[in-house]
Amino acid sequence: MQRRNMLKTIAALGAASLVLGAHAQEKPIKVGVTGGPHAQIMEQVKKVAAKDGLNIQVVEFSDYIQPNAALQAGDLDANSYQHLPYLEAQIKDRGYKFSNVGFTVTFPMGVYSKKIKSLDQLKNGARVGVPNDPTNGGRGLLLLQAKGLIKLRPDAGLKATPLDIIENPRKIKIVELDAAQLPRSLDDLDAAAINGNYAESAGLSPTRDAIATEGPKGPYANLLAVRTADKDKPWVAKLVKAYHSPEVKQYITTTFKESVIAAW
């Protein structure tokens, strides 16, 4: 009888440990995103990841600074919102120990306007907005250069600033604003270079509404970032696998057409 009771106790403890183990695995992986397409896509990733036993909690932010600060602080396990030049700049400037564990999507930057239908219509002294963070600001200036509006110093690189402009025949006034504010500032500007995710969130489409867009090839594919100490953990591989799944790629293509492009 005692042996039978002991076996029951051992079995009960084993079952309890399995339940506790299951609950431990259910602890969500918190992934930071900016609102709009990044958030929408991550909700689809969440569904796919759940089939593989990975519980994702999507945390939305309204700017580009906080998702990395939250990852550094341990409030997030990963984030999905930034491209590689921005991540590299943040690592250099703030000392973050982050790693890129997989590319996600590309949002073509476009020039938008409520006042003109083509860049040829920009008047002398026109006010043109660009993002005020170093990498996206440089991206906007490089787009304006590609369209012949300005010329930058040859060594300006991806972090070009208005100080690097060496030719500006139309005397365009560059207005630096927070990237998220640019769509809301179009009434006050003649045109603005707007990141694809913020354009999409404002109901603007690069293929339908932009008067100029980036070429299809470039260094601005977005990525999944994690703390370097976590990059080899099993949940990271599951997160990347879910993001790179055929289901998520199909969702991106169907939902966003050419406004958002899968980068893997």
Indicate whether 121 belongs to any domain: yes
Q: Are residues 207 and 224 in the same domain?
A: no
Q: Are residues 114 and 207 in the same domain?
A: yes
Q: Are residues 151 and 63 in the same domain?
A: no
Q: What is the spatial distance between Cα 113 and Cα 177, in angstroms, rounded to a whole number?
A: 15
Indicate whether 135 belongs to any domain: yes
Indicate whether 225 belongs to any domain: yes
Indicate whether 5 belongs to any domain: no
**E strands in 75-152:** 78-83, 98-103, 105-106, 110-112, 127-131, 151-152
Indicate whether 22 belongs to any domain: no
Residue numbers of the domain that contains 135: 110-213
Residues 6+ apart with CB under 8 A from 95: none
Q: Are residues 90 and 151 in the same domain?
A: no
Q: How many domains does the chain have?
A: 2
Q: What is the spatial distance between Cα 24 and Cα 200, in angstroms, rounded to a whole number?
A: 37
Residue position matching structure tokens 């440089």: 138
Q: What is the dihedral of CA 188, 191, 192, 196, to 10 degrees?
A: 120
Q: What is the spatial distance between Cα 35 and Cα 42, in angstroms, rounded to a whole number?
A: 10
pLDDT in tens, the chain (264 residues): 444 554 454 444 454 444 444 444 468 999 999 999 999 999 999 999 999 999 999 999 999 999 999 999 999 999 999 999 999 999 999 999 999 999 999 988 999 999 999 999 999 999 999 999 988 999 999 999 999 999 999 999 998 999 999 999 999 999 999 999 999 999 999 999 999 889 988 999 888 999 999 976 778 999 999 999 999 999 999 999 999 999 999 999 999 987 888 999
* Distance set, CA 143 to CA 39, 163, 178 (Å): 26, 16, 17
Q: Select from 198, 213, 228 the last residue of a domain.
A: 213
Domain with residue 248: its CATH number is: 3.40.190.10
Q: Which two tokens stand for residue 239?
A: 């997160």
Q: Are residues 103 and 162 in the same domain?
A: no
Q: What is the spatial distance between Cα 169 and Cα 166, in angstroms, rounded to a whole number?
A: 10
Q: Are residues 49 and 61 in the same domain?
A: yes
Q: Are residues 190 and 116 in the same domain?
A: yes
Indicate whether 11 belongs to any domain: no
The amino acid that residue 203 corresponds to is G
Q: Are residues 146 and 54 in the same domain?
A: no
